[in-house]
Chain A
Amino acid sequence: MESDNFLRRNLPNILWIAAIVSIYFVLSSLIAPFSDGITLSSKIIGERLQEIGGFLFAILGGLAIIEIYFYQIFFRQPLNRTATIVTRAIQVAMGLLTFTFIIYFFNLTDLIKLGDSAIGKFVNMPVNSFANLQKSLISSKVATKDSAKMVAGIIFALGILVLYAIIQFASKPRNSRVGLAYLLIMPAFIGVLFLIIYPFLFEIKLAFSNASLGTQATKNAQYSLLFGWENLKMLFTGTVAKDAKFFEVFWRTILWTVINVTFHVLGGMGLAILLNRPLKFKGFYRTLLVIPWAIPTTIAAMALRSEFDSRYGLFNILLGNLNTWLTTVSQNTANIIGIGNGFAWLAATIGPVSWKQDPFWAFVSVLLANIWLGIPFMSVIILGGLQSISQEYYEAAEIDGATRWQQFRNITLPLLRPVLTPAIILGVVWTFNKFDIIYLITQGGPQEKTDILVSSMYKAAFQFYRYGFTAMFALVIFAILFIFTLFYLRVSDGLKSATE
């Protein structure tokens, strides 16, 4: 009965798995065994799973060790005096070990350079002994070369667990009001420390260095305030990537952000207001309208890039057709004074454009692409806001004789503010930082005339390898955004509600 029940409960899952497996086999039999290139095989899948599994296992183990450590600090109280001494001794030793690991990590990634000094040797000690343990495990045939790391890790963890067990036995539970909260945020806190704080510190250090390809990144780089000053001077007086100057790119970035956000909000608002009316086919329209948001950005950018082709792209085909039409019309109306000349003028002005070579049109092309991509998001957000406004306000206003425009100004806009404010602030920051469209469509060309600050920075780092300079550049960009945010928060009072 039990097994019958099990089968019945899991039948859909089993069918899914069976379907996926059979699709896999059908596909793998269809894929022709050509000599060139690599195809996905079960071996690759297995290796990847092993790699990621080991990684996750290591993270989990590390987090568990740290969590138990803090659990004992918050929730256990030593029984007597000797226990206190032993417990605190173990905890201090563990703390010291963690500290050396952190310093070791800093040293490894060149945040600080210890070299062969006494401190350097001391810091390297735990890791070296870990490596020695691995070697002895291999030589004593306990573990193979592949599994040595894992076995050594497990031995290491077991050792620490024994220490924890000692503390656990020599203590009694106690209450802590905030302990649990700290235990809960600990994993994320460590993650943020490792992923954001540390790189940020590193960036500040890098900004005062001459790191570049010539110094092999940080290996032979030198650090001094003078280099920082040089980098800063270079940023404002020299070129930011290869051709463009800072202020030129800065104003273009402002233009890029303002135009994009304005069109996103206006377009989104317009569509949202239309979609908020009682209409037939509303769901249908809404589905079609969010497609630019749903399509992966890389695909959209590449597709639009081909549409800006000077001969075969959609835009130039349309403009060419328009031009032909205008020419015929101007020929047919040539006798009518005024209109004929007007059409002739239009035909001479409107026509195919060189999207790639002309800086102005290149910038227009990336703007068009980004506006197209961004409107659905705004319209969906604004539509959500509109739907939460009660219809009664409008009915009351109508009774009082308010016009549509007055209703919009005095009801819709104020009630949309809580939705619109964060949407605009996030929109500005995202657009300011969003350069994948630019990078994929024009690559900043021609002559970096469509680069914005962030794309220049990306190029400076990964095309021209000006690492120290890039770090300073990044700090300046961060300062600009930070000032904007502070200014905006002061104006809109936005953070108060967020942290309540």
Chain B
Amino acid sequence: MTTNPISRFFRWFFYRSRGDSPFKTILIHATLIIACVIAVYPVLRVVTISLRPNDTLLTTDLRIIPENATLDNYKEVLFGDAEKNRQSDFFLWIWNSVSVVAVTSVISVILAAISAYAFSRFRFPGRSAGLIFLLTTQMIPAGMLLLPLFIMIAKLKMINTPLGLIIAYAVTSVPLTIWTLKGYYDTIPVDLEEAALIDGASRLTVFTKIILPLSTPALAIAFLFSFMGGWSEYLVARVVLQKNEMFTWPLGIFTFAQQFTVSWGQFAAASVLIAIPIMALFLYSSKWLISGLTLGSVKG
């Protein structure tokens, strides 16, 4: 009827609201926008700090893009500090983190993919005890086993090696992954396998040819879970790794804060560089992550 663009916009905007009055719709949008600002603003502040020139790091300015914005901090983080004649450790940290966390995730996904199948499909003595035990391990604080693990790792001469950290991370990641994958296997209909078994396929063929291909998304989720669990871990890594060249990135960026003059600019730049890919990955995969979470915890 009306061709007025503003009124058209309003009609579009309020179109699907289920019997809500316009006032209420606006109220809901306002609440959500405030929530979004609270969620995003502290993160944007990190970007702001990373863009500030070094002489105006300490300011009470609240703008998102600061005055005289520069990329100097990024340059220093990535390519080293010419003034202090110091090379950049950034890629080393990333490599240390990736190598430790990726190996942990691969080990736990492989172990879990195999054993979760047994828990899901076979009935054997000790099965429910095993499942309850796995659930109980979720109650154990990671910090609780840290001391004996630390002593064990020290006795095995694995302090300051990636292997020690891999062992420490596997403690939390293996049970969680088994639990997640078992939940997913339970949702795959048994009929498929039974048909294949009747046709003469062995259990092994069934597992590799039917179950594994069908559960690729769940395997990816489990991998992501355990990857994200270890990726930004600080406290365990601090205990196991003490040498600079072994540092994972959380330890690494913490050195920026511990230096004599706190290098907030470099800290922020390094944070942004690390956070962008991982956040992109997270947001991209969040839909599946959520389904994985509910599978593991709700459906059992």
Of the candidates B18, B87, B137, B257, which one forms a contact with A302 in the assembled complex, judged by CB atoms under 8 Å apart? B257
Interface residues of B in 74-118 (CB under 8 A from A): 78-82, 84-89, 91-92, 94-96, 99, 103, 107, 111-112, 114-115, 117-118
B174–A195 CB distance below 8 A: yes
Band of interface residues on A: 35 or more
B235–A470 CB distance below 8 A: no
B84–A454 CB distance below 8 A: no
Known: A298-B254, A499-B131. 14 other contacts (CB 8 A): A34-B85, A37-B80, A39-B88, A40-B94, A188-B178, A202-B151, A285-B36, A295-B275, A297-B234, A298-B234, A372-B38, A372-B42, A439-B234, A498-B131
B297–A423 CB distance below 8 A: yes
Please give me the 5 A-B residue pairs with the lowest Cβ-Cβ distance, nearest first: A296-B232, A181-B122, A188-B115, A184-B118, A37-B87
The answer for the CA separation of A485 and B155 in the assembled complex, in Å, is: 34
Chain B residues with CB below 8 A from A470, complex form: 147
CB distance from A186 to the nearest CB of B (A): 8
B140–A196 CB distance below 8 A: yes
Mark each residue of chain A from 261 to 300: 1 if its CB lies under 8 Å from any CB of chain B, else 0. Answer: 0000000000100110111110001011111111111111
Interface segment, one of A1-9, A24-32, A130-138, A163-171: A24-32
B60 within 8 Å of A by Cβ?
Answer: yes
The answer for the CA separation of A462 and B235 in the assembled complex, in Å, is: 10
Closest to B243 in A: A38
A218–B46 CB distance below 8 A: no
A462–B87 CB distance below 8 A: no
A396 within 8 Å of B by Cβ?
Answer: no
Of the candidates A297, A372, A381, which one forms a contact with B290 in the assembled complex, judged by CB atoms under 8 Å apart? A381
Interface segment, one of B25-33, B65-73, B190-198, B214-222: B25-33
CB distance from A434 to the nearest CB of B (A): 9
The answer for the CA separation of A272 and B254 in the assembled complex, in Å, is: 35
Closest to B237 in A: A298
A31–B79 CB distance below 8 A: yes
B18–A277 CB distance below 8 A: yes
CB distance from B180 to the nearest CB of A (A): 13
Band of interface residues on B: 35 or more
Known: A34-B80, A188-B114. A498 touches B135 (CB 8 A): yes
B95–A48 CB distance below 8 A: yes
The answer for the CA separation of A357 and B235 in the assembled complex, in Å, is: 24
The answer for the CA separation of A186 and B282 in the assembled complex, in Å, is: 33
The answer for the CA separation of A458 and B234 in the assembled complex, in Å, is: 13
Known: A52-B162, A187-B111. A37 touches B89 (CB 8 A): yes
A471 within 8 Å of B by Cβ?
Answer: yes
Interface segment, one of A78-86, A94-102, A474-482: A474-482
Of the candidates A34, A186, A198, A280, which one forms a contact with B13 in the assembled complex, judged by CB atoms under 8 Å apart? A280
Known: A39-B88, A188-B111, A290-B283. A303 touches B42 (CB 8 A): yes
Of the candidates B41, B60, B174, B279, which one forms a contact with A294 in the assembled complex, judged by CB atoms under 8 Å apart? B279
CB distance from B141 to the nearest CB of A (A): 4
B58–A312 CB distance below 8 A: yes
Mark each residue of chain A from 406 to 420: 1 if its CB lies under 8 Å from any CB of chain B, else 0. Answer: 000000000000110
A36 within 8 Å of B by Cβ?
Answer: yes
B274 within 8 Å of A by Cβ?
Answer: yes
B1 within 8 Å of A by Cβ?
Answer: no
A495 within 8 Å of B by Cβ?
Answer: yes
CB distance from B261 to the nearest CB of A (A): 14
A458–B235 CB distance below 8 A: yes
B187 within 8 Å of A by Cβ?
Answer: no
The answer for the CA separation of A55 and B231 in the assembled complex, in Å, is: 21
A45 within 8 Å of B by Cβ?
Answer: yes
A433–B91 CB distance below 8 A: no
Interface residues of B in 236-283 (CB under 8 A from A): 238-239, 244-245, 250, 253-254, 257, 264, 267-268, 271, 274-275, 278-279, 282-283
Chain A residues with CB below 8 A from B134, complex form: 192
B171–A291 CB distance below 8 A: no
Chain B residues with CB below 8 A from A429, complex form: 138-139
A355 within 8 Å of B by Cβ?
Answer: no
A33 within 8 Å of B by Cβ?
Answer: yes
The answer for the CA separation of A38 and B255 in the assembled complex, in Å, is: 14
Known: A192-B175, A195-B170. A294 touches B286 (CB 8 A): yes
Of the candidates B29, B152, B167, B174, which one forms a contact with A188 in the assembled complex, judged by CB atoms under 8 Å apart? B174
Residue among A44, A303, A419 with most chain B CB within 10 A: A303
B17–A277 CB distance below 8 A: yes
A495–B141 CB distance below 8 A: no
CB distance from B101 to the nearest CB of A (A): 12
Of the candidates B38, B147, B151, which one forms a contact with A110 in the assembled complex, judged by CB atoms under 8 Å apart? B151
CB distance from A399 to the nearest CB of B (A): 14
B298 within 8 Å of A by Cβ?
Answer: yes
The answer for the CA separation of A436 and B250 in the assembled complex, in Å, is: 12
Known: A56-B103, A295-B43, A303-B43. A274 touches B290 (CB 8 A): no
22 residue pairs A–B, Cβ–Cβ below 8 Å: A27-B91, A30-B78, A34-B86, A39-B80, A40-B92, A52-B103, A180-B122, A187-B114, A195-B170, A218-B151, A274-B32, A279-B25, A285-B32, A288-B39, A299-B253, A299-B274, A302-B257, A312-B60, A429-B138, A436-B235, A458-B235, A499-B300
The answer for the CA separation of A342 and B286 in the assembled complex, in Å, is: 47
CB distance from B136 to the nearest CB of A (A): 8
Closest to B103 in A: A52
B212 within 8 Å of A by Cβ?
Answer: no
Interface residues of A in 118-173 (CB under 8 A from B): none
CB distance from B235 to the nearest CB of A (A): 6
Chain B residues with CB below 8 A from A295, complex form: 43, 275, 279
Closest to A455 in B: B143
CB distance from B140 to the nearest CB of A (A): 6
CB distance from A152 to the nearest CB of B (A): 18
Known: A44-B95, A302-B271, A481-B139. A380 touches B38 (CB 8 A): no
The answer for the CA separation of A497 and B186 in the assembled complex, in Å, is: 12
Chain B residues with CB below 8 A from A432, complex form: 141
A422 within 8 Å of B by Cβ?
Answer: yes
B59–A312 CB distance below 8 A: yes
The answer for the CA separation of A281 and B67 in the assembled complex, in Å, is: 32
Known: A51-B161, A306-B49, A419-B298. A32 touches B235 (CB 8 A): no
